Amino acid sequence: MLSGLFHRHFFLGCLIIFLGPTLAAQVSDETEREFYQVRNSYNNSYGSDYNLLNGRQYNLLYSSVSHPFYQSEGYRPGNLSLNGEDYKGIPLNYDIYKQQLILQYTTYSGQSNQLVLNNELIDGFGVEGKVFRKITLPAAGSRFFQVVSTGDIACFLYWEKKLFQSSSTSNTPYRYSKPSRDIYLYKTGEMYPIGGRSSFLALFDEAAWKEIKSFLRREKIHFRSASDETLGRLMDYCNHLTGKE
């Protein structure tokens, strides 16, 4: 559902368009004119598609000393696949505390508002130069994962932040943690959490252990601190080693 002003105008617009001239005549000229102002402003920003505004108003809490977003507080041009439609270059940010994707839009009065997009309609998105895909886990349901690599053996990251009570003397009693990630290996059609070398090696045949161990030592790979690029090289090596690539 739309929230606030957009909710009301979207509903009125649908009535005007779909229920015919009888109902339209009952809507005041002032209300109709206001509706078209909102629609024209939206069309100028995002094109004539209300698909993007299928969400609710976003409220940012406890942000004076920290923030809940993936990397930065700013809204930057990103890409989105939503309800079967693809959008490019729209201002997005990713709240990893609430696991919500936020769209920033400009109202007809020139103000910037933020909208929580409907997670159920999102297939994937790109923010801060990273690509995220929605994947369903049997025990946890649907989640957004950063795509590190693709292939028969692939790597994905699940990002989150936590909220805890602050011991500082700032105006807010709470503070967001630093971002943390969980590493997942995709193999044989399943997603497996990776806590370290042992859990990683356990997913491969014994014949491949020696080669993978050597690669981990040679590349000095520690899963807790490994970069996206390092994890990607490891996936490439495993695909090559197991004949999957």
Residue 3, domain extent = 1-48
The count of residues in the chain is: 245
* pLDDT for position 26: 42
Residues 53 and 152 in one domain: yes
* pLDDT for position 113: 86
**Whole-angstrom Cα distance, residue 244 to residue 211?**
15
**Whole-angstrom Cα distance, residue 216 to residue 221?**
5
**Whole-angstrom Cα distance, residue 189 to residue 120?**
22
- Two structure tokens written together for 213: 């161990």
User: pTM for the complete prediction?
Assistant: 0.77
Rounded (10°) angle between helices 4-18 and 29-46: 110
Residues 124 and 136 in one domain: yes
Residues 149 and 74 in one domain: yes
Residues 64 and 173 in one domain: yes
Residues 96 and 33 in one domain: no
* pLDDT for position 54: 66
**Whole-angstrom Cα distance, residue 63 to residue 60?**
7
Last residue of a domain, one of 48, 69, 84: 48
Contacts of 238 (CB under 8 A, 6+ apart): 153, 204, 208, 212, 244
Last residue of a domain, one of 30, 48, 66: 48
Residues 217 and 165 in one domain: yes
Number of domains within the chain? 2
> Which stretches of the chain are assigned E, i.e. beta strand?
55-57, 76-82, 85-95, 100-106, 112-117, 122-127, 130-137, 141-147, 154-160, 163-165, 174-176, 180-187, 190-194
* pLDDT for position 65: 77
Alpha helices in 99-223, H assignment, sequence order: 197-201, 206-218
Residues 7 and 84 in one domain: no
**Per-residue confidence in pLDDT tens, the chain, 245 aa:** 334 434 444 333 443 333 344 434 444 454 555 545 555 555 555 544 556 666 788 888 887 778 999 999 999 999 999 988 899 999 999 999 999 999 998 877 778 889 999 999 999 999 999 999 999 988 888 999 999 999 999 999 999 999 988 776 566 778 899 999 999 999 999 999 999 999 999 999 988 999 999 999 999 999 999 999 999 999 999 999 988 54
* pLDDT for position 242: 86
- Two structure tokens written together for 73: 């507080």
Phi, psi of 201 (to 5 degrees): -65, -30
Residues 89 and 16 in one domain: no
Residues 39 and 99 in one domain: no
Residues 134 and 157 in one domain: yes
Residues 206 and 140 in one domain: yes
Phi, psi of 240 (to 5 degrees): -65, -45
Residues 42 and 54 in one domain: no
